[in-house]
């Protein structure tokens, strides 16, 4: 496995964590209560700690984090520009659904990394409390106003679509990263990875009370 693949994956995850930090911290302003604001800020701070861990690992491997992140700034910026949440509930669904799909994908391809790299990736992708918090808030909102469910389900579909668009572009441009995915070139394995990711996504949607 080429080193460039590790650098690419670390750079992608690092910039993903940095934008997740920014997004959660900014969305905290939309929080309806002080407790919600604090919960979102805590998640943001956890994402930043993860960013720092990946940055340190890149430096440890002799790579400037800024250099490793550079190829992924465009796609991630586009993704977030195209999926700016209009309100608090949309931001919660995005934080949970979007980050979880990305994390599942990173976890799947991390299996091909060296032990240290894999352990770090699994560590920084550990749930930062999104799941329970978001499920609780979204279910409560749907219980209070069932109409919300349709709108949020559409929103989640749009998130997945835009994420796939951007992922495709990254795949085309970053051979080393794509190499992690295709591995020995077995398309069945790749298909199984995507099946697994979409299945986990459907389960999360169900937990939120949304149709996938």
Tell me which residues touch a second copy (CB under 8 A): 18, 21-22, 25-26, 28-29, 34-35, 37-38, 41-42, 44-45, 48-49, 51-52, 55, 65-66, 69, 73
* Residue 179 beta carbon to a second copy: minimum distance, rounded to whole angstroms: 26
CB 40 within 8 A of CB 134: no
* 76/121 with CB nearer a second copy: 76
**What are the start-end ranges of the E strands in 61-171?**
none
Q: How far is the CB of 92 from a second copy (least distance, A)?
A: 17
Of 55 and 100, CB closest to a second copy: 55
> Closest approach of Cβ 34 to a second copy, in Å?
5
- Kindly tell me the sign of the dihedral angle through the C-alpha atoms of 199, 124, 32, 161: negative
- 24 or 103: whose CB is closer to a second copy? 24
Buried b (16+ CB within 10 A) or exposed e, 52-82: ebbbebbeeeebebeebbebbeebbeebbee
- CB 161 → a second copy: shortest distance, Å? 25
CB-nearer residue toward a second copy: 4 or 26: 26
Nearer to a second copy, 49 or 192 (CB): 49
Residue 134 and residue 93 in contact, taking contact as beta carbons nearer than 8 Å: yes
Query: Hey, is 183 helix, strand or coil?
Result: coil
- Please identify which residue in the block is written with the tokens 């894999």: 118
Shortest spacing between CB 155 and a second copy, in angstroms:
22
Mutual orientation of helices 130-144 and 148-173 as an angle, nearest 10°?
140
């Amino acid at each position: 496995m080429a080193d460039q693949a590790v650098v690419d994956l670390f750079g992608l995850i690092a910039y993903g964590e940095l934008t997740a930090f920014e997004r959660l911290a900014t969305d905290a302003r939309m929080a309806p209560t002080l407790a919600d604001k604090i919960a979102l800020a805590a998640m943001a701070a956890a994402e930043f700690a993860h960013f720092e861990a990946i940055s340190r690992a890149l430096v440890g491997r002799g790579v400037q984090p800024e250099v490793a992140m550079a190829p992924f700034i465009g796609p991630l910026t586009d993704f977030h520009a195209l999926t700016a949440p209009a309100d608090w509930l949309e931001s919660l669904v995005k934080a949970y659904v979007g980050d979880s799909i990305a994390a599942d994908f990173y976890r799947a391809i991390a299996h091909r990394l060296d032990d240290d790299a894999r352990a770090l990736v699994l560590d920084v992708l550990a749930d930062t409390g999104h799941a329970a918090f978001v499920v609780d808030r979204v279910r409560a909102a749907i219980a209070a106003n069932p109409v919300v469910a349709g709108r949020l389900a559409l929103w989640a579909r749009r998130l997945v679509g835009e994420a796939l668009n951007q992922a495709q572009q990254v795949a085309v441009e970053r051979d080393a990263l794509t190499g992690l995915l295709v591995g020995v070139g077995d398309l069945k394995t790749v298909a199984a990875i995507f099946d697994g990711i979409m299945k986990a996504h459907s389960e999360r949607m169900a937990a939120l009370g949304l149709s996938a």
